[in-house]
């Protein structure tokens, strides 16, 4: 195995430490200070010359600061002649802006991809992009890790669920592929809900139609992101209205914006499981919400890059 170094930005240090532990490598020293006016000033304090360097940074809230930190760390590292530099991005913020939803808006996910390339990262490792097509926004190789197996293993640990009494739910048409894949892993049927988004009222959506048979069953909603919690809360309400016995939610990225925790607590959802791609910003996690670690998947992805170099 070639010599490599791991650095962490400030967005998800706990996850970076877990990854480092699994790889038996301490996190590299970096000073992430700020000038008096708020400008970020990263200072890499390791010899990166001819080494494979990984920078672990989730592009979560405050995403603009975390993106800036990732790009400036990249620029600092590349100036000291590493062999190669890989951005490990457990959660890619702006990924939901993957197309121009209406004239006059940017394709932000593409802009973020360009930022990463401009700072001379040569590869990207990321998890469950909102849309697989975002990989195409990068000119550099992207290892796109899926958390679906991890979520499926967690679901399989729950007692009493079977193909007869449970159904996997996609809360919107965009998530059908994800739900179909999870249903395949669990050998369960799949049902799709139709959600309409309001472009002029951000972060609101409504669940309308349930396309499939759910009555008396346990509904397993799978989603990539829980942001305001509106999608899963409204989906759960619609599902309970038509006689679903319980609603379990499994998602990769716990964005948990605004009053999401309150929305989840008050909802008719029975259980929510997310991964730790995004660091929790509060200790006040409702009892129905729990987290599983994505660290081993990212450590494996890093190890594969190192082993082929
Ligand atoms: C939408 O396309 C995504 O897959 C999620 O369903 C959405 O981002 C969740 O957002 P919120 O929790 O705000 O409803």
pLDDT for 284-308, tens place per residue?
899 999 999 999 999 999 999 999 8
**Is residue 203 over pLDDT 90?**
no
The answer to whether the CB of 205 is under 6 A from ligand 1 is yes
* pLDDT at 66 > cutoff 60: yes
What residue has token string 């650095």? 7
Cα 247 to averaged position of ligand 1 atoms, centre (Å): 17
β-pairing, 289-292 with 271-275? parallel
Which residues, including other chains, have CB under 8 Å from residue 10's CB and lie 6 or more apart?
A: 32, 66, 69
CA distance 193 to 216: 17
174 close to ligand 1 (CB < 6 Angstrom) = yes
Question: Pick the catalytic residue: 114, 122, 157, 195?
Answer: 195
- Evaluate if residue 281 carries a pLDDT over 90: no
Q: Domain 4-146+296-307 classified CATH 3.40.50.2020?
A: yes
Closest by CA to 291, choosing from 258, 249, 259, 263, is 249
Beta strands (DSSP E) in the chain are: 4-8, 30-34, 40-44, 52-56, 84-89, 123-127, 142-145, 166-170, 190-197, 205-211, 218-226, 246-254, 271-275, 289-292
223 lines ligand 1 (CB under 6 A): yes
Cβ distance 236 to 268 under 8 Å?
yes
Within the chain, residue ranges assigned H as helices are 13-22, 63-78, 108-118, 148-156, 176-186, 230-241, 260-266, 295-308
Read off the pLDDT of each residue in 88-115 and give the average, rounded to a whole number.
96
Contact 235, 207 (CB under 8 A): yes
Is the pLDDT confidence value at 208 over 70? no
Cis ω before 62 (30° cut-off from 0): yes
Mutate to test the pocket of ligand 1, among 223, 237, 253, 256 (most ligand atoms within 8 A of CB): 223
**pLDDT score at 299:** 98
98 lines ligand 1 (CB under 6 A): no
**In the predicted model, what is the mean pLDDT of the chain?**
94
**Nearest Cα residue to 192 out of 216, 208, 206:** 208
Active site residue 309: no
**Domain boundaries along the sequence of the chain:** 4-146+296-307, 148-292
How far, in Å, is the centroid of ligand 1 from the Cα of 50? Answer: 41
Same fold, 4-146+296-307 and 148-292: yes
Q: Stretch 69-79: mean pLDDT, rounded?
A: 97
Question: Is the shortest distance between the CB of 231 and ligand 1 below 6 Å?
Answer: yes
Percent of the chain predicted with pLDDT > 90: 89
Region 84-90: mean pLDDT is 98
Give the pairing type, strands 205-211 and 190-197. antiparallel
Average pLDDT over residues 191-217: 73
203 CA → ligand 1 middle, Å: 8
pTM: 0.94
**For domain 148-292, which CATH number applies: 2.40.128.110, 3.40.640.10, 2.60.40.3140, 3.40.50.2020?**
3.40.50.2020
Each residue's pLDDT tens digit, 182-198: 999 999 999 999 876 65
């Amino acid at each position: 195995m070639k010599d490599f170094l791991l650095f962490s930005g400030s967005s998800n240090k706990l996850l970076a430490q877990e990854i480092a532990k699994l790889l038996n490598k301490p996190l590299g020293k970096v000073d992430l200070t700020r000038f008096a006016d708020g400008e970020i000033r990263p200072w890499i304090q390791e010899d990166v010359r001819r080494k494979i360097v990984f920078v672990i940074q989730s592009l979560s809230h405050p995403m603009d600061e975390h993106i800036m930190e990732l790009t400036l760390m990249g620029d600092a590292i590349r100036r000291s002649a590493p062999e190669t530099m890989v951005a490990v991005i457990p959660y890619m913020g702006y990924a939901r802006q993957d197309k121009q939803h209406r004239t006059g808006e940017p394709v932000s996910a593409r802009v973020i991809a360009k930022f990463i390339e401009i700072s001379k990262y040569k590869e990207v490792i990321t998890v469950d992009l909102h849309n697989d097509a975002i990989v195409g926004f990068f000119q550099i190789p992207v290892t796109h890790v899926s958390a679906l197996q991890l979520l499926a293993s967690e679901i399989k640990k729950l007692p009493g669920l079977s193909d007869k009494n449970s159904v996997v739910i996609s809360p919107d048409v965009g998530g059908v592929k994800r739900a179909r894949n999870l249903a395949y892993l669990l050998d369960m049927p799949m049902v799709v809900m139709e959600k309409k988004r309001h472009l002029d009222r951000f972060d609101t959506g409504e669940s309308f139609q349930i396309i499939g048979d759910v009555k008396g069953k346990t509904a397993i909603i799978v989603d990539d992101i829980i942001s305001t919690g509106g999608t899963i809360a409204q989906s759960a309400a619609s599902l309970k209205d038509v006689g679903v016995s319980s609603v379990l939610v499994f998602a990769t990225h716990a964005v948990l914006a605004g009053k999401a925790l309150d929305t989840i607590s008050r909802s008719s959802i029975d259980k929510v499981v997310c991964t730790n791609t995004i660091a929790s910003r509060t200790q006040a996690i409702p009892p129905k919400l729990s987290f599983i670690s994505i660290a081993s998947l990212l450590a494996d992805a890093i190890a594969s890059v190192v082993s082929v170099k």
